């Protein structure tokens, strides 16, 4: 029987400047929010660093759109300086990936700016960048997980490795069968459900109040007909400057791909990479939504397995 591939923490002691990361967009914090929203949509990004002369004064992300929702709704031309997270945590571009995983999973960051030795901005690392590196360490095993877009309830069976994983895992290591773990062990069940007729403004304020990034759109409280996310709100609402009194059915992603709670970690990653998702609704055997899986949940799980979460040495 072929030995399972295992990696230890040393595999993550990789300098960040060795990774293929995107250049950062650094703009003035005086830019009005609506202009920033349009820029972010045009560049298909979810974060900006703010400052002058290449220095980082703050960071603005799509998460800030919801966390500062009342201010954004009241005055869409508000300056980013009023919305940004000031003096954000940064890492040197020569820092280690293991430190990045520790910070992102512990503080639940989805983006982290990297700076040069002179403190000017360099690049941005995201959760997806980290997860792509991790899966690259197990490329052969991950190849069995092709994207899933159509499946039947009877076609979802747990592989034996998912059951055996807990018996042979070692602290501070990852083995290839971590990707065989069923999603029901990772799913976030704290999820907002909204009717398609709910107005966009009401939906935004609901997500703001609940501090959630996604809502499932349910017809008759039983049928999943769509999802709305932070990115939908940034791109489809504010970047396009549409009427907030329209129903959320106008902006939702209709008939989203879903996975069963018996699908596996590898299925979720494969779908996210293939289709550009950051969230996937999870359903039970009857097809009823029971929660959501995001890139953040996947990173937190892996970081926990490696012993990297909540062990920050920076604070």
pLDDT at 220: 87
Contacts of 293 (CB under 8 A, 6+ apart): 183, 186, 187, 188, 259, 268, 279, 280, 282
Judged against a pLDDT cut of 60, whether residue 206 lies above it is answered with yes
User: Helices 295-306 and 265-275 sit at what angle, rounded to 10 degrees?
Assistant: 130
Judged against a pLDDT cut of 90, whether residue 315 lies above it is answered with no
pLDDT at 158: 47
CA distance 38 to 199: 22
Averaged pLDDT, 82-99: 95
pLDDT at 224: 94
pLDDT at 1: 54
Report yes or no on 17 lying in a domain: yes
The number of beta carbons lying within 10 Å of the beta carbon of residue 314 is 10
Report yes or no on 283 lying in a domain: no
> Could you tell me which of 214, 232, 219 has the C-alpha nearest to residue 280?
214
Show the DSSP H helices in 146-228 as ranges. Answer: 160-168, 200-210
Contacts of 68 (CB under 8 A, 6+ apart): 82, 83
Question: Structure tokens of 296?
Answer: 């953040």
- Per-residue pLDDT reduced to its tens digit, 209-230: 999 999 999 998 889 999 999 9
Residue for token pair 């008759």: 220
Report yes or no on 293 lying in a domain: no
Report yes or no on 205 lying in a domain: no
Report yes or no on 284 lying in a domain: no
- Per-residue pLDDT reduced to its tens digit, 253-289: 999 999 999 999 999 999 999 999 999 999 998 889 9
Q: Are 141 and 176 in contact (CB under 8 A)?
A: yes
Domains identified in the chain, total number = 1
pLDDT at 172: 83
**What share of the chain has pLDDT > 90, as a percent?**
81
- Per-residue pLDDT reduced to its tens digit, 176-198: 989 999 999 999 999 999 999 99
Residue for token pair 């230890």: 8
Q: What is the CA radius of gyration of the chain?
A: 20
Specify which residues 120 forms β-bridges with: 55
> Could you tell me which of 203, 262, 173, 247 has the C-alpha nearest to residue 66?
203
Judged against a pLDDT cut of 60, whether residue 235 lies above it is answered with yes
Report yes or no on 110 lying in a domain: yes
CA distance 38 to 159: 45
> Among 93-102, 103-112, 147-156, whose mean pLDDT is lowest?
147-156
pLDDT at 171: 77
Judged against a pLDDT cut of 80, whether residue 2 lies above it is answered with no
Q: Are 124 and 109 in contact (CB under 8 A)?
A: no
- Per-residue pLDDT reduced to its tens digit, 137-165: 999 999 999 888 776 554 555 444 445 66
Report yes or no on 40 lying in a domain: yes
Length of the chain: 315
pLDDT at 3: 76
Averaged pLDDT, 194-204: 98
What CATH number does residue 63 fall under?
3.10.580.10
CA distance 97 to 158: 31
Q: Are 71 and 82 in contact (CB under 8 A)?
A: yes
The residue range of the domain holding 59 is 10-129
Report yes or no on 206 lying in a domain: no
Cα–Cα distances in Å, from 199 out to 4, 113, 206, 251, 281? 51, 35, 11, 10, 22
Pick 167 or 188 by higher pLDDT.
Answer: 188
> Could you tell me which of 183, 268, 279, 185 has the C-alpha nearest to residue 228?
279
The whole-chain average pLDDT of the chain stands at 91
> Could you tell me which of 105, 91, 100 has the C-alpha nearest to residue 296?
105
> Among 73-77, 166-170, 239-243, whose mean pLDDT is lowest?
166-170
pLDDT at 149: 78
């Amino acid at each position: 029987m072929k030995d399972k591939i295992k990696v230890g923490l040393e595999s993550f002691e990789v300098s960040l400047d060795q990774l293929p990361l995107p250049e950062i967009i650094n703009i003035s914090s005086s830019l009005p929010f609506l202009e920033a929203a349009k820029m972010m949509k045009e560049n298909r990004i979810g974060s900006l660093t703010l400052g002058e002369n290449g220095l980082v004064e703050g960071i603005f992300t799509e998460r800030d759109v919801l966390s500062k929702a009342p201010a954004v709704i009241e005055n869409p031309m508000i300056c980013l300086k009023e919305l940004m997270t000031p003096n954000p945590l940064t890492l040197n571009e020569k820092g280690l990936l293991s430190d990045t995983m520790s910070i992102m999973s512990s503080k639940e960051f989805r983006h982290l700016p990297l700076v040069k030795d002179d403190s000017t901005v360099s690049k941005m690392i995201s959760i997806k960048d980290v997860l792509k590196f991790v899966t690259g360490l197990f490329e052969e095993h991950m190849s069995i997980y092709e994207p899933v877009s159509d499946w039947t309830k009877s076609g979802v069976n747990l592989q034996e490795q998912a059951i055996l994983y807990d018996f042979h895992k070692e602290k501070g290591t990852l083995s290839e069968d971590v990707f065989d773990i069923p999603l029901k062990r990772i799913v976030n069940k704290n999820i907002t459900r909204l009717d398609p007729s709910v107005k966009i403004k009401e939906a935004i304020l609901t997500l703001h109040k609940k501090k959630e990034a996604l809502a499932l759109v349910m017809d008759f409280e039983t049928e999943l007909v769509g999802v709305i996310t932070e990115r939908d709100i940034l791109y489809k609402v504010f970047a396009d400057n549409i009427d907030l009194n329209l129903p959320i059915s106008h902006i939702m992603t209709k008939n989203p791909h879903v996975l069963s709670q018996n699908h596996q970690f590898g299925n979720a990653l494969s779908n996210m990479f293939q289709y550009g998702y950051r969230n996937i609704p999870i359903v039970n055997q009857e097809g009823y939504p029971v929660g959501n899986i995001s890139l953040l949940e996947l990173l937190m799980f892996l970081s926990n397995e490696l012993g990297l979460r909540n062990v920050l040495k920076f604070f």
